Amino acid sequence: MNDTKFTGRCLSVINDLSLDEQMYLYRKTKELKDATINGKKTDQFIVNDKNIGAYLVFLESSTRTKESFVNAIKFHNIKTNIFDAAHSSFNKKESYSDTFKMLTTYSKYSIFIVRSKLEGVTRWLKYSLSQLSERLDLPMPAIINAGDGKHEHPTQEILDEYTFLEKNNFNNNEIHIALIGDLNHGRTVHSKTDGLKIFKNVKVDLIAPSKLAMPEYYKNKMKQNGFDITEYDSIEKYLAQKKVAKLWYFTRLQLERMGEDDLKNASVFAKSISFRNEFFDKIPEGTKFYHPLPRNREYPTIPFSTDNTTLNGYDEQAMNGYYTRTVLISMFGGQLGKDFNGNHNKTIKHSSDFIEEVSAINKTKPEYKIGTKPVIDGIVIDHIGKGENIETIWEQIHNIRKILNLNIVSSHGVYKSHKDGKFKGVLSLPDLMQFKELQMKKLAAIAPESTLNIIKNSVVQNKFRIHMPPRIYDFQEISCKNPNCISHPNHHEKALTEFHKTSDNKFICKYCDKVHTFKEIWNI
Ligand code: CP
């Protein structure tokens, strides 16, 4: 097998491929599709290596994704394994990690294609299988997310973007697209947030009733990506204005992911996001409809009557699933990629300078002599929750004591700062002379912007200013609050919890991208 920058890769979300890598995939797809349609040679795409095993592990139903991958794998003449999920040890509560570790050892190199109800599974596998491959000196398997709950569906995104490019004659200067349907639960529209970045100018019209609206996280990301976005709560309202897109991307009501209240309103929701015959005269000439399919028979957002009209772009779109997935396997199988000369994805490096040693002004600090025992030798944590309301500061003090297990002689309180009159918390810990690194990290996560002073003979020897870390991870006291996330404690997978701070001070789960406030990440 050829070892390239594409082998051993994990595609959990579309952003796992750089824009150059995505464009390379689209160029190769065009070459393969043209060659196939014109009966030309396609050998240059074929992996042709029986040492490579592709495993299709579908833990949620699928027709298109699964069958297009099955056909893509057959094209490549590699070992095809269709995992029998219904009779597997998953039913005996076997962990994902155990299952995939075992499968990894059955081929010289594996490509896993995984669909699951749980979100973030492939990100977790990337971590657990990299440990296995290091331990047993095995090549890291490639891992492809074939749709995980309501999170993302990157290979659908690839085929969608390829289809839009094809419609635009491969000109990626601009796109104006309407996304219509259940934008809240539909993973294919979430993937558009990053997938559409291959176009230089992007205008997106979001059409959904408020209960099914695009989550704030994805809308914010679209704005950060420079997209011009406008929202409408029904097709009727959308067509009442003048700037109507010619590309309409529908997604169905995701009934299987809705709560009971939303299910009761399904027919009402369907009315505002389904195309009706009376709209025909109002859409611009040359409009095309796209849909990841399948349509729901009861609530088809695109009526079956449009199938034999020029509006139908979805049949060709579905066909592109075969070509794009064939090229993806060719890249991840080491056959394509040697002629790639763009930028690969960069690994994000997290800054570790959130604990900052600052100069300790050599003087006694009268405000530290508080409580029952003035601090002569010990630690004082100052500026806890400075500027917050008194209740929040008490909560932070309580959390520091609890999480850092500070059941020792000590005192604490909430005070008014001498300097600016703002409230702050102070916790004094006489006789405790040092904090371990893990404790410092925890303190940074619980009480960012506090200061930690080490005092000897009533003089501050060292002073640390503590900032919010860019990642908060691997503490027992935190967990993702999305019940469908692979790292949620209910699933007992033991995936290490990890949150990444966003530019607007929220915390997203590394696995499922659920947004949490700072308070929500804690279990206390
Ligand atoms: N579009 C899509 O993912 O369809 P399947 O559920 O049939 O795979």
The number of the ligand 1 atom at minimal distance from the alpha carbon of 67 is: 8
Please work out whether the CB of residue 95 comes within 6 Å of at least one atom of ligand 1.
no
Indicate if 296 and 169 belong to the same structural domain: yes
* pLDDT tens digits along 481-510: 999 999 999 999 999 999 999 888 899 999
Q: Using 50, 70 and 90 to split pLDDT, how confident is the model at 347?
A: confident
From 425, 444, 466, the end of a domain falls on: 466
Residue 410 lies in a domain: yes
Please work out whether the CB of residue 293 comes within 6 Å of at least one atom of ligand 1.
yes
List the structure tokens of 128: 């657990």
Ligand 1 centre distance from Cα of residue 62 (Å): 5
**How many structural domains is the chain composed of?**
4
**What pLDDT does 369 receive?**
47
Map residue 404 onto helix, strand or coil: coil
* pLDDT tens digits along 58-96: 999 999 999 999 999 999 999 999 999 999 998 899 999
* pLDDT tens digits along 244-275: 999 999 999 999 889 899 999 999 999 999 99
* Angle, CA 25 vertex, CA 190 and CA 165 arms, to 5°: 65
Indicate if 65 and 92 belong to the same structural domain: yes
**What pLDDT does 435 receive?**
87
End-to-end CA, the chain? 50
507: Cβ contacts below 8 Å, ≥ 6 apart: 472, 499, 500, 501, 515, 516, 517, 518, 520, 521
Q: Under a CB-based contact definition with an 8 Å cutoff, are residues 250 and 186 in contact?
A: no
The whole-angstrom separation of Cα 218 and Cα 189 is 9
Indicate if 423 and 305 belong to the same structural domain: no
Q: Which residues pair with 231 in a beta bridge?
A: 206
**What pLDDT does 372 receive?**
46
CATH code of 437's domain: 3.30.70.140
pLDDT at 419 over 90: no
CATH code of 499's domain: 2.30.30
The number of the ligand 1 atom at minimal distance from the alpha carbon of 147 is: 3
Strands (E), 24-108: 52-58, 79-82
**Percent of the chain residues topping a pLDDT of 90:** 83
Domain that holds residue 71: 10-153+322-332
* Residue 313 DSSP symbol: -
The whole-angstrom separation of Cα 100 and Cα 395 is 42
**CB-side neighbour CA atoms (13 Å) of 403:** 23
Residue 173 lies in a domain: yes
CATH code of 116's domain: 3.40.50.1370
Ligand 1 pocket mutation, candidates 64, 150, 189, 324, criterion most atoms within 8 A of CB = 64
Tell me which residue of 296, 216, 292 sits closest to 255, measured CA to CA: 296
From 443, 466, 489, the end of a domain falls on: 466
Please work out whether the CB of residue 320 comes within 6 Å of at least one atom of ligand 1.
no
Query: How far is it between the farthest Cα atoms of the chain?
Result: 88
Indicate if 397 and 303 belong to the same structural domain: no
Indicate if 135 and 281 belong to the same structural domain: no
* pLDDT tens digits along 11-64: 999 999 999 999 999 999 999 999 999 999 999 999 999 999 999 999 999 999
Ligand 1 centre distance from Cα of residue 328 (Å): 17
Residue 247 lies in a domain: yes
Please work out whether the CB of residue 292 comes within 6 Å of at least one atom of ligand 1.
yes
Please work out whether the CB of residue 128 comes within 6 Å of at least one atom of ligand 1.
no
Instruction: Provide the whole-model pTM.
Output: 0.91
Indicate if 262 and 409 belong to the same structural domain: no
pLDDT at 373 over 60: no
**What pLDDT does 2 receive?**
82
The number of the ligand 1 atom at minimal distance from the alpha carbon of 66 is: 8
Indicate if 187 and 221 belong to the same structural domain: yes
Indicate if 194 and 117 belong to the same structural domain: no
Ligand 1 pocket mutation, candidates 59, 144, 254, 293, criterion most atoms within 8 A of CB = 293
Please work out whether the CB of residue 62 comes within 6 Å of at least one atom of ligand 1.
yes
Please work out whether the CB of residue 342 comes within 6 Å of at least one atom of ligand 1.
no
Residue 341 lies in a domain: no
Residue 1 lies in a domain: no
Please work out whether the CB of residue 133 comes within 6 Å of at least one atom of ligand 1.
no
Ligand 1 pocket mutation, candidates 156, 254, 295, 319, criterion most atoms within 8 A of CB = 156
Ligand 1 centre distance from Cα of residue 293 (Å): 6
Indicate if 486 and 381 belong to the same structural domain: no
Indicate if 504 and 360 belong to the same structural domain: no
Indicate if 160 and 296 belong to the same structural domain: yes
pLDDT, averaged across the chain: 93
Please work out whether the CB of residue 65 comes within 6 Å of at least one atom of ligand 1.
yes
From 466, 489, 512, the end of a domain falls on: 466
Q: Which helix (H) or strand (E) holds 21?
A: helix 19-37
**What pLDDT does 359 receive?**
77
Indicate if 305 and 181 belong to the same structural domain: yes
Please work out whether the CB of residue 64 comes within 6 Å of at least one atom of ligand 1.
yes
Residue 315 lies in a domain: no
Please work out whether the CB of residue 369 comes within 6 Å of at least one atom of ligand 1.
no
Residue 369 lies in a domain: yes
